Amino acid sequence: MLSYIIRRLLLLPVILMGVTLLIFCVFSLLSPMERLATYVHDPNTLKNSQAMGRLIEKYHLNDPFPLGYINWLKRIINFDLGWSQTANQSVKDAISQRFPVTLELVLYSIIPVILVGIWLGVLSAVHHNDMLDQTIRVTAIIGWSLPTFIFGLLVLFIFYGILGWFPPGRLSSWAQDIVYTSSNFHSYTHLITIDALLNGNIPIFLDALRHLVAPILTLSYISWAFLLRITRSSMLDTLRKDYIRTARAKGVDEHTVIHLHAQRNALIPVMTISGMMIIEMLGGVMITETIFTYPGLGFWTATAAQQLDYGSVISFALLFSSLMVIGNLVVDLSYALIDPRVRLE
Amino acid sequence: MKRNFLFIVFLCLTLMLFTSFSFAEIKNPDTIIDACIGGPESLDPHWAYDTSSGQVIYEMYDNLINYKGKSTAEFVPMLSTEVPSVENGLISEDGLTYTFPIRKEVKFHNGDILTPEDVVYSIKRALIFDRSGGPTWMFCEPLLGVYGIEDKVVEVYGLENYSDIFVDGDPRGELKPEKKYKEAMIKFFNDYIDKTVEVDGDKVIFHLAQAYAPFLNILAHSGNWSAIINKKWAIAQGAWDGQADNWWKYHDPEAEKDPLYAVENGTGPFVLKKWVPEEIIMLERFDDYWRGPAKIKNVQIKYISEYTTRKLMLQTGDADMMYVPLQYISEVEKIEGVIVEKNLPQLANVVSMFPWTINAEGNSYIGSGKLDGKGIPPDFFSDIHVRKGFSYLFPYDIFIKTVAKGMAIRNPGPIPKGIMGYTADPALFYPFSMEKAKAEFKLAWGGQLWEKGCKFTIFYNEGNDTRKAACDMLSTYAKMLNPKFNLEPVGVQWSTYLKAFLTEKLPIYTIGWQADYPDPHNWAPVYMGSKGDYAGFFGEAYREFARKNVDPLLEQGLKETDPVKRAVIYKELTQIAHDQAISIYAYQPGGTHAQRLYIGGWYYNPILPGLPACADFYYLTKGE
C-alpha cells in the first residue's frame, strides 16, 4: 500500500504543472490590452496612452509566455502566490481567508447530505415501487432539477425574511465584532464553530450554527438527491444478491438483513462518491455563498475568472487540483479498506 | 414511534432556541450597518481611485478644507483654519500661491499631533507615489503642469521614456549605476517636487505651476488623494522617508508593496477596527476627534453582492441602509420602516460617443470598411451630418422615462447639472426627431449614406442593462428610419471593450463619467479635449479639431479665476459640443438612498464618495 500511495502522490506535481500550464496558456492567448482589464476598470484612469504602456509593463502583461510562466514558477517556489486584484489582498491571504469559510460550509453540509441521502436511498430501495419510493424519488428529482439560486432565495426569503430565524452571513454583527477584533478570541482553525468551542464561547458557537442552517439546507437539498439515487440503485442491486436470499431463508429478521447485510455492502460505492462530492463542493459553492453572503472560495474564484485575475485563478486551480488528487487517493484507499476484494495496483 | 416523538420534541426545542434570539426594535443600537457592494481596493489615500475606498478613507481621514453641508461650491475650513481666497489674501492675485494656516491640537488616531510637516509630506508623497491608474494626477496637473511625475522627468531631461534611466528599463529596479542618474533624480526632486509645497511657520504654502481654478476642489474632503497622513507614522510603516535621494524607489509600487494599503492613521472621526477584504469594514468612533466625537459609536460597511440578501437585511433591520439598483427602487419603497430618497442629482453622466476616425486595421466592427451598405468607412463619423443625424435619432425622453424610470435628466453637453458652466438653454438640446434625423442623414456623405445604408457594431459592457437598452433603442430607431441602417448592439466583456477602446476600433460606444471633483474642468476636457480621457481616443481628425477649437478654451477656463467668466467659457464649449454634435449626451442619472427611518442626520451632497447617495457617518444617529 505504501508504494501505491507514493506512486499516486508522485503524480501530483505532474498534474499541477499540467493544470497551471494549461491555464497560463489560455490567459496568454489574450492580448496585453485585454489582460489590462484586470487592473483598469474605467478607461478614465488612463490619463494618456503612456499610462496604458506603463501598466502593461508594470504588471508584465507583455512578457512572452515561457518567461511569464518561469517567473511565476520562481515565485511559487518561494511561496509567493502573487496579488489578487479581485480580492484586493495577496492570493495567499485570500485563500487562507476564504478556504476555511467554504470548508466549514461543506463539512457541515455533507453530514445531512450523506445521512439523509443514504437513509432515504435505503428506504426507497426497501419499499421499491411503493408509494413511499415514488414520493421519495419525485422529491429527489425536484431537488435535483431545482436551480440552486431559486431554492436558496426561497430558503432565505422564508426562513430569514418572514420568520427571521436564519440570517445570512457567517455571524451577527455583535459576534463579528468579537471574532474579528477582540484580543480574547483566538482563531485557531478559522472554522468559526470550532474556534468558538475552543475559545469556550458558546453564544458565538450558537450564532455561527444559526447562520449555517440556511446555506446547509440549500446545499443539502440540492445534493442529497444525487446520493439518494446512487444509494437506491446500489441497495436494489445488493438486495437481489444470493446471500441476502440465503439470510432471509435462514430466518434472519428483516431489519438485520437490510441494515447489517445489505446496507453495509451497498454503501461501498456510495462512500467513494461521497468523498468526491466533498472535494467538488470545496471547489465552489458559488451560488450558495453569494446568496447567503458566505465569503468563500466559490464567489471569489468566479469573479477572478470573469475579471481575468489569472494569478488568483491559477492558485485556486493549484489548490483544487491538489485536493482532487489527494481526495481521489483517500477514496481509493478507503475503498480498499472497506472492500477486501479490492487490490491496490 | 417513541423515537420519532423524541426527535420532533428535539427539533422544536432547537427551533425555539434559535427563535429565542428575539429581535429588539432596533438591532445593534450603537452600530450603523451599511449594506454595499464591492469592497475597497486600498486604504492608502494615494493609491485609492475607487468609490468604495474613497468612502472609507473619507471617514478615517480629514483634508485641509471641506464642502459646506450640501454645497459643492462653498468650502469650510477643516485641518486648515481658513479657506484661502483672493479676498483674504491667502490666494495670490496670479492664482499661483495658496496658503493654508494649519489647525493646532488636532490628534491623529495614534495620539500624535498634526503639524504642517504632515501636510507637506502628504502632498509630496502623493506626487512621488503617483501610481499608474491612480488619482494623484490631480496634484500633478496643478503643481507640475503635467499628468504624471514620469512625464515631468521625461520633459525635464529630454528622455524618450522614464524607464530609460533604470537598469534593464525596469522603473521598479535600480537606477543605472552612473552617478549622473542619481544626481539628476535628486536634482529633479529638489527643483520640482520640493518646491511645490512648503512649511512657513504654522502655515503650508502651495506653489502652483499654473493658475488652476479647481485647486481648492482637489484639496477638499471627498478627495481621498488629498487626505492628510501622519508623516512619522507613515515612515515607520515603510512609506517614503521624505528624502530626495531615494524617492523613485517609492514611485508607482505594486499593490502588495504598498505599506499603507491596509492600515490607517488619520485625524478623521472614525478609526479602522478591522478590514476583511470584500467582506466587511469595521470602524469605531475616535473619541478625541477635534470636531467632537461622532454620535454613533460603530460603523460597519458590509459588502454583499446579492440584492435580495441586502434587501432582506434592510427589511429585518440587520442593515440600516443599503445600495439599491435602479430597477429595484419600487420594491424597496414598499418595505415598512424604510425611506427611499430618489432622483438625487448625481455628478455623473452617460454619453454615447462618435470617434471621428476609427482604426480600421483588422476591425470587424465596421464591416466592409466602406460606405457600401455592408459597413462604414473609418472616417464615417467625421461627417457632421452623420453625427447630427444620430443626435436627433436618440429617444432621450423615452429612454429616461422607461429605462431610467424617470430618474435622470438630459444634459446638453458634457457638463452635468450642478456643476458651474452647466446651461439649460433649450436651444442646445437635440430633440428626438425622426424627420430631422432623416434630413441630416440625407445630407451625409453627399447623399450616399441614405442611398446605400450602413452597417456597424455598437458596444455596451455586458451586464449593463441600461446601456444595452440605449444601444437597442438607437439601433431600433435607425432601422425604422431606414431599413438599410444596420446597427448591431453587442454586449462584450470588459476586457474586450477596453482593448477595442484603447485601439480606437469602436464605432459608437457608450460610457459614463463620475466626478472626481465638482468643477467643469473635470468634465469638459474628458469629453472634448484633444488629450481627453475619452475624446483623446476619437482619432487624429478629432484631435486636430480639438487642438484648434477646444483646447484653447479649456486652457482659458482652467486659468480663469472669475466664476462668471468661467461659466461663459464653459457655455461656449457646450455650444461647440452642440454645434459639432460631438457626442450623444444621453442622460445624467439620479441617485437613490435607502435607509431605515430611525437613522437620523443623513444629508445629501453629490460629491460624497461611495455609491450613489452615500452617507457622512459623522452626523448619523440611530434611534434618537
B515-526 pLDDT per residue, tens: 999 999 999 999
pLDDT score of B328: 92
Residues 6+ apart with CB under 8 A from B399: B469, B470, B473, B586, B587
Instruction: Judge whether residue B9 has pLDDT over 80.
Output: no
Homologous superfamily (CATH) of A98-338 is MetI-like (1.10.3720.10)
A165-174 pLDDT per residue, tens: 999 999 999 9
Taking phi over 0 as left and psi of -120 to 50 as alpha, with beta for the rest, B201 belongs to left
Give me the phi and psi of A316, to 5 degrees please: -65, -40
- A 203-232 residues with CB below 8 A of B? 206-207, 210, 213
The reply to whether B28 touches chain A by the CB within 8 Å rule is yes
Instruction: Judge whether residue B15 has pLDDT over 60.
Output: no
A40 near A21, Cβ under 8 Å?
no
A321 near A333, Cβ under 8 Å?
no
Search chain A and give the residue with CA nearest B160.
Answer: A50
Nearest to B312 among A48, A90, A156 (CB): A156
* DSSP for residue A161: I
Three-class SS state of A113: helix
Nearest to B132 among A54, A86, A173 (CB): A54
Distance from CA of A127 to the nearest CA of B (A): 19
* DSSP for residue B106: P
pLDDT score of B12: 56
Topology classification of domain B61-257:
Dipeptide-binding Protein; domain 1 (3.90.76)
A267-299 pLDDT per residue, tens: 777 877 888 888 888 876 888 999 999 889 988
The reply to whether B298 touches chain A by the CB within 8 Å rule is yes
Q: Check A290 against B306: CB less than 8 A apart.
A: yes
B95-137 pLDDT per residue, tens: 999 999 999 999 999 999 999 999 999 999 999 999 988 999 9
B186-209 pLDDT per residue, tens: 999 999 999 999 999 999 999 999
Distance from CA of A287 to the nearest CA of B (A): 10
Indicate the pLDDT class of residue B24, thresholds 50, 70 and 90.
very low
Q: Check B298 against A177: CB less than 8 A apart.
A: yes
Paired strand residues for B591: B344
Indicate the pLDDT class of residue B20, thresholds 50, 70 and 90.
very low
The reply to whether A293 touches chain B by the CB within 8 Å rule is yes
Q: Check B316 against A169: CB less than 8 A apart.
A: no
Nearest to B300 among A83, A153, A173 (CB): A173
C-alpha cell recorded at residue B381? 463619423
Residues 6+ apart with CB under 8 A from A223: A109, A113, A117, A277, A281
Distance from CA of B210 to the nearest CA of A (A): 19
Distance, in Å, from the CA atom of A283 to the CA atom of B505, rounded to the nearest integer, reads: 39
Output the pTM of the full model: 0.91
**Which residues in B lie closer than 8 A to residue A44 (C-beta atoms)?**
513, 526, 533-534
Instruction: Judge whether residue B86 has pLDDT over 80.
Output: yes
pLDDT score of A123: 87
The reply to whether B384 touches chain A by the CB within 8 Å rule is no
Q: Which of B278, B310, B328, B534 to mutate to test the interface with A (most CBs of A within 10 A)?
A: B278
The reply to whether B159 touches chain A by the CB within 8 Å rule is no
Instruction: Judge whether residue B22 has pLDDT over 50.
Output: no
pLDDT score of B231: 98
Question: H-helix or E-strand containing B301?
Answer: strand B298-303
Report the b/e string of A172-186 with b at 16+ CB within 10 A: bbebbbbbbeeeebe
Distance from CA of B318 to the nearest CA of A (A): 8
Instruction: Judge whether residue B5 has pLDDT over 70.
Output: no
Q: For chain B, give the mean pLDDT.
A: 93
pLDDT score of B612: 61
Paired strand residues for B348: B514
A92-128 pLDDT per residue, tens: 999 999 999 999 999 999 888 888 888 888 888 888 8
Three-class SS state of B113: strand
Nearest to B309 among A54, A181, A293 (CB): A293
List the domain boundaries for chain B: 31-37+269-337+597-622, 61-257, 348-589
Instruction: Judge whether residue B10 has pLDDT over 70.
Output: no
Domains B31-37+269-337+597-622 and B61-257 share a fold: no
B343 near B511, Cβ under 8 Å?
no
pLDDT score of A273: 82
Q: Check A308 against B302: CB less than 8 A apart.
A: no
Distance from CA of B522 to the nearest CA of A (A): 11
The reply to whether B134 touches chain A by the CB within 8 Å rule is yes
Q: What's the one-letter identity of residue B515? A: A
Q: Check B306 against A97: CB less than 8 A apart.
A: no
- A 69-88 residues with CB below 8 A of B? 82-83, 85-88
Distance from CA of B162 to the nearest CA of A (A): 10
Question: Angle at the Cα of A150 (from A146 to A153), degrees rounded to 5?
Answer: 140
According to DSSP, the β-strands at B321-322 and B31-36 are parallel
**Which residues in B lie closer than 8 A to residue A166 (C-beta atoms)?**
18
Three-class SS state of B445: helix
Distance, in Å, from the CA atom of B383 to the CA atom of B445, rounded to the nearest integer, reads: 7
- The residue-averaged pLDDT of B240-246 equals 95
Topology classification of domain B348-589:
Dipeptide-binding Protein; domain 3 (3.10.105)
| ipTM over 0.90 threshold | no
The reply to whether B279 touches chain A by the CB within 8 Å rule is yes
Instruction: Judge whether residue B227 has pLDDT over 50.
Output: yes
Instruction: Name the class of domain B31-37+269-337+597-622.
Output: alpha beta
Distance, in Å, from the CA atom of B234 to the CA atom of B219, rounded to the nearest integer, reads: 20
- B 536-565 residues with CB below 8 A of A? 536-537
Nearest to A295 among B42, B278, B497 (CB): B278
**What secondary structure does DSSP assign to B449-498, as a single string?**
HHHH-EEEEEEEETT-HHHHHHHHHHHHHHHHH-TTEEEEEEEE-HHHHH
Q: Which of A26, A31, A48 to mutate to test the interface with B (most CBs of B within 10 A)?
A: A48
Q: Which of the residue ranges A135-139, B243-247, B295-299, B571-575 would you say has the lowest mean pLDDT?
A: A135-139
pLDDT score of B21: 42
The reply to whether B148 touches chain A by the CB within 8 Å rule is yes
Q: Check B276 against A97: CB less than 8 A apart.
A: yes
* DSSP for residue B522: G
The reply to whether B252 touches chain A by the CB within 8 Å rule is yes
Distance from CA of A325 to the nearest CA of B (A): 30
C-alpha cell recorded at residue B371? 460606405
- The residue-averaged pLDDT of B370-383 equals 96
The reply to whether B132 touches chain A by the CB within 8 Å rule is yes
CB pairs under 8 A between A and B: 170
**Which residues in A lie closer than 8 A to residue B277 (C-beta atoms)?**
87-89, 93-94, 97
CA nearest neighbour of B242 among B340, B363, B120: B120
Instruction: Judge whether residue B23 has pLDDT over 50.
Output: no
pLDDT score of A117: 87
Q: Which of the residue ranges A237-241, B12-16, B150-154 would you say has the lowest mean pLDDT?
A: B12-16
Looking at chain B, the whole-number percentage of residues with pLDDT higher than 70 is: 96
Instruction: Judge whether residue B593 has pLDDT over 90.
Output: yes
- B 315-344 residues with CB below 8 A of A? 315-316, 318
Looking at chain B, the whole-number percentage of residues with pLDDT higher than 90 is: 84
A147 burial level (CB within 10 Å; 0-12, 13-18, 19+): exposed
- The residue-averaged pLDDT of B265-292 equals 97
pLDDT score of B446: 96
List the domain boundaries for chain A: 2-89, 98-338
Write out the E strands in chain A: 83-84, 89-90
Nearest to B315 among A59, A161, A307 (CB): A161
The reply to whether A97 touches chain B by the CB within 8 Å rule is yes
C-alpha cell recorded at residue A333? 484507499
> What are the CA-CA distances from residue A160 to residues A166, B413, B576 (Å)?
5, 47, 56
> What are the CA-CA distances from residue A256 to residues A118, A251, B246, B413, B579 (Å)?
17, 10, 81, 84, 91
**Which residues in B lie closer than 8 A to residue A206 (C-beta atoms)?**
17
